[in-house]
Each structure stands twice: as C-alpha cells, then as structure tokens.
C-alpha cells in the first residue's frame, strides 16, 4: 500500500514536471522569438544611426563645425582655409541692396579674402565676443572641437559604441547616458552660439550699412579720399567677412542642432531597443536555466518512479513467494500432524508390547527363582524359561520394529514440533528400559545355565 501510494505521488510529480517543462519550452520559444525581433530592431536602428552619422551631409556638417570652432577665432591668411569654405562663404549674399558677397574685390583691397581682426577697435573678435556674451570659455570651445573630432566623426567614439551595441555587446547605461549628455551639451553650445551670433550679426549689419553708405557717398563726390575713408573701406571688408561668418555659422549651427536632435532621437530608440534585447536575452537565459532544471527534475522523477516500480515488483514477488511458502508450510504441517498421530499410535502399541515383555520377563524371573530352589525342576523350568525368553525376544523385536517406525514418524514430523520431540524422548526412554530388561533377562538365563551345568 505504501509503495502504491509513493508510486502515485511520484507519477503525479513526474506529470507536473513534464507540464512545467512544456510550459517552459513554450515561454522560451516565445522569448527567443521576441529576442530575435528585438535584435532585428536593434540592428536596423544601429544601421539607421550609422547611416545618419556617415552620410555625406553629416560628414560635411562635422567638417564645417570643426573649421568654425578652430579657424575663425584666429588671424589667418586666405591660404590657411579649405577651398570649399571660400566657395560656401561666397554663396551667401548678405546685403540685398549692395549684393556684397564674401571676398568681393571690386572696390576694395585684395585682403578681403583674408581673416584679419586686429587693428580695428570698432570690430570685436567673433570668438572673444562669444566668450564675453556666454557662459563658455576658450577651453570649452576647444573641448567642443575635440568632441566633434573624436565623437561625431565617422569611425570615432559614437560609431564604435553603436557597432558594439549592434554586435550584441552589453553596453552600460552610463556610457550611453554620458554620450547623450555630451551631445546635448554640444547642442546647447551651438544654440548659445546661434543666439550670440544672431545679435552680433544684427550689430555688425547696422555698422556695415552705415560704413557702406559713408564710403559710397565719398566715392560719389569725387573728393580726395583721406585716411578716414580708407579706414572705412577696410572696415567694410571686415564687416562683410563678419556678416558672412555670422550668417554661415548661424545657418550651419542650426542645421547641426537639427542633426543632433535626430541623432539623439535615434540613440534613444537604439538605447531602448538595446535594453529590450538585453532584457529578453536575460529572460531567454532564465528560461533556458529553468528548462534545464525541469529536465533534471523530470529525470529525477523518472528515476524515482522506476525505483518504486522495481520495489513494488520485488515486493509482489516476495509476497507471492511468501504465499507459496505458506502453502508449503501448511502442507508440511498437515503431514507432520499425520506423522505425529501415527507416532502416538506406534507409541501406544510399543508401550503395550513393552508391558507384555515386562510380564514375560517377570514370568521368566519367577521361573528362574523356581529353578534355583528346585534343581529337579531346573531343566523343565529352564526349558520353559528359554521358551519364555524366546517369546520375550520375539516380542522385543516387535517392540524394536515399532519403536523404529515411531522414530521414523517422529523424524518426519520435523524438529519444530515440540510434542513430537517429547514423544520421541518417551520412546527412547521406553526403548532403553526394554534394552535393560532384555539384558537383565539374558543375564539371568546365563546364570541359570551356569547353575544347570
């Protein structure tokens, strides 16, 4: 009963473990499917971000900002700037009335195509103007230039981070958040530059118009040009340069801000996709571990079920063997009882025969006594005694035969039967007594024979 109960319990546990395993398999398959989708989204978002950072317009924007942050703050000659910068500057028409373009030399010196901020007290250096009207320092400007070169340029820090994420590497949230904070800081820097240079543009534009009107009036009168007029002509060139720089910087800083907003948006998407993929990967790993535990539990339950089934089979075999042995023992007990009944009958017969032998022995003793007192009748008495002794011997032989039969019956009854053992002991006692009586009779006969002789 206990084995059957244990077997039922273990089978129920095995069935439950199989159900749990199937549920874990289903959950694992679903999690893997979700993980594959999340990885696809992550890869697509990574490629979109890399494409956004690597497309020619983005690369050009980075190059423009590096030039703006490194070159416009210094006095340079025209040969120190990229040719594309002059082409782009020349494309800006800053004054609808006079149509003055960057580096226009129709009326002024050839120095119009150079950056020269020194020597003109009324014209403020653009970078110094920005530092004076913002919370940023020259070191901040230099740091922004390094950030553009080391982070946003192709195959630099941001590209490397994106490719690590796309490759499934676990990237810490701190790295991503720190990078996003730096990009936002860069965007705030550009926004402030736009704000400061917009005001500076308005101030310089007013001075440019006044100076241009003064120079043009002087040219129209035909009067001799003096130092003031020459200074004003140079100021026009410098103001024109400043206006172009401000307009160029403002235009492309705004474009860069829009670009950075797009980059931040995609980074946020990538961060979310990466976090989801990592969470799902952890979930898949957890499900796989749970599935392994379920497999181990199933194996353990199957082992226990087999062990209990084997124990139950062995117990049933032992029970069948015990039942067979019990039947055999019952048969042997019946046979032993029958043998004991026969032994009792033999014992009764042996007892009667012994008693008869004892009577005969008594008679023989009487005859011997008579023979001793009456020698005349010794011969006849001796003959009678011998006859009686022969009869007693015959009777003793019968008793011996009965006793042997009794002993055989007692042996068949088995050692475990106490009553048969007691009877056997009584038979042995009787047999010993008969033997002694026979011995005594034989000795008496021998003595009588000696007297006759």
Contact 367, 451 (CB under 8 A): no
For residue 247, how many C-alpha atoms fall within 13 Å in the half-sphere facing its CB?
Answer: 19
Each residue's pLDDT tens digit in the chain (453 positions)?
666 776 677 777 778 777 877 887 888 788 888 888 888 888 888 788 777 777 777 777 777 777 777 655 554 444 556 667 667 766 665 544 444 444 443 433 333 444 444 434 455 667 778 888 999 888 888 888 888 777 766 556 676 777 777 666 666 666 778 888 888 998 999 999 889 988 888 887 888 888 888 877 776 665 556 777 777 777 777 777 777 777 878 888 888 899 889 888 988 888 888 888 888 888 888 888 887 887 887 788 778 777 877 877 887 787 788 888 888 888 888 888 888 888 788 788 878 887 887 888 788 778 777 766 766 665 676 677 677 767 767 776 776 676 676 667 656 655 555 655 565 566 556 656 655 655 665 565 566 556 545
pLDDT value at position 105?
39
* Confidence (pLDDT) at 188: 92
Angle ∠(49,55,56) on CA atoms, nearest 5: 155
CA distances from 252 to 61, 156, 193, 259 (A): 7, 21, 11, 10
Nearest-CA neighbor of 152 among 272, 42, 267?
267
Q: Which backbone phi and psi does 101 adopt, to 5 degrees?
A: -110, 170
User: What's the pLDDT score for residue 113?
Assistant: 45
Domains of the chain: residue spans and CATH: 22-296 (no CATH), 338-452 (1.20.58)
Q: Tell me the backbone φ, ψ of residue 74, rounded to 5 degrees.
A: -130, 160
pLDDT of residue 107: 39
Q: Contact at 8 Å (CB) between 254 and 94?
A: no
What single string gives the DSSP state of each residue in 358-422? HHHHHHHHHHHHHHHH-GGGHHHHHHHHHHHHHHHHHHHHHHHHHHHHHHHHHHHH-TT-HHHHH
Q: What is the crossing angle of helices 227-373 and 56-70, to 10°?
A: 120
Closest CA to 4 of 221, 309, 242, 247: 309
Report how far residue 148's alpha carbon sits from residue 144's, in angstroms, rounded to the nearest whole number.
6
Q: Which residue has tokens 């039947």? A: 327
Specify the pTM: 0.55
Q: What is the pLDDT of residue 114?
A: 45
């Amino acid at each position: 009963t206990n084995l059957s109960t244990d077997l039922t319990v273990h089978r129920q546990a095995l069935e439950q473990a199989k159900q749990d395993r199937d549920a874990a398999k289903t959950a694992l398959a679903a999690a893997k499917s979700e993980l594959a989708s999340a990885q696809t989204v992550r890869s697509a978002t990574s490629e979109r971000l890399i494409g956004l950072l690597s497309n020619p317009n983005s690369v050009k924007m980075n190059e423009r900002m590096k030039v703006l942050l490194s070159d416009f703050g210094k006095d340079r000659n025209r040969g120190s700037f990229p040719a594309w910068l002059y082409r782009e500057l020349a494309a800006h028409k800053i004054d609808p009335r006079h149509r003055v373009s960057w580096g226009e030399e129709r009326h002024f010196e050839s120095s119009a195509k150079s950056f020269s901020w020194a020597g003109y007290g009324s014209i403020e250096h653009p970078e110094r103007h920005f530092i004076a009207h913002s919370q940023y320092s020259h070191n901040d400007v230099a740091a922004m230039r390094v950030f553009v070169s080391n982070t946003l340029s192709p195959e630099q820090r941001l590209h490397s981070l994106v490719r690590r994420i796309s490759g499934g590497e676990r990237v810490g949230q701190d790295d991503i958040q720190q990078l996003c904070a730096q990009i936002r800081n860069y965007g705030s820097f550009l926004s402030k530059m736009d704000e400061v240079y917009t005001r500076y543009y308005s101030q310089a534009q007013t001075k440019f118009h006044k100076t241009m009107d003064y120079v043009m009036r002087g040219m129209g009168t035909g009067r001799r040009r003096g130092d003031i007029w020459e200074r004003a002509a140079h100021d026009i060139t410098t103001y024109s340069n400043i206006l172009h720089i401000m307009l160029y910087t403002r235009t492309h800083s705004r474009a860069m801000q829009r670009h950075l907003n797009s980059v931040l948006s995609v980074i946020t998407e990538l961060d979310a996709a990466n976090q989801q993929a990592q969470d799902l990967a952890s979930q898949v790993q957890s499900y796989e571990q749970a599935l392994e535990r379920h497999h181990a539990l199933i194996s353990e339950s199957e082992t226990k079920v087999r062990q209990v089934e084997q124990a139950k089979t062995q117990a049933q075999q032992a029970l069948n063997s015990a039942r067979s042995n019990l039947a055999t023992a019952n048969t042997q007990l019946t046979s032993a009882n029958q043998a004991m009944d026969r032994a009792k009958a033999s014992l009764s017969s042996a007892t009667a025969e012994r008693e008869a032998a004892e009577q005969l022995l008594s008679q023989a003793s009487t005859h011997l006594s008579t023979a001793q007192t009456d020698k005349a009748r010794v011969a006849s008495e001796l003959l009678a005694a011998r006859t009686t002794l022969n009869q007693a011997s015959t009777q003793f032989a019968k008793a011996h035969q009965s006793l042997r039969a009794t002993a055989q019956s007692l042996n068949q009854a088995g050692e475990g039967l106490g009553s048969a053992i007691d009877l056997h002991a009584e038979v042995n006692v009787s047999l010993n007594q008969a033997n002694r009586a026979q011995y005594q009779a034989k000795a008496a006969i021998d003595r009588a024979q000696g007297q006759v002789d």
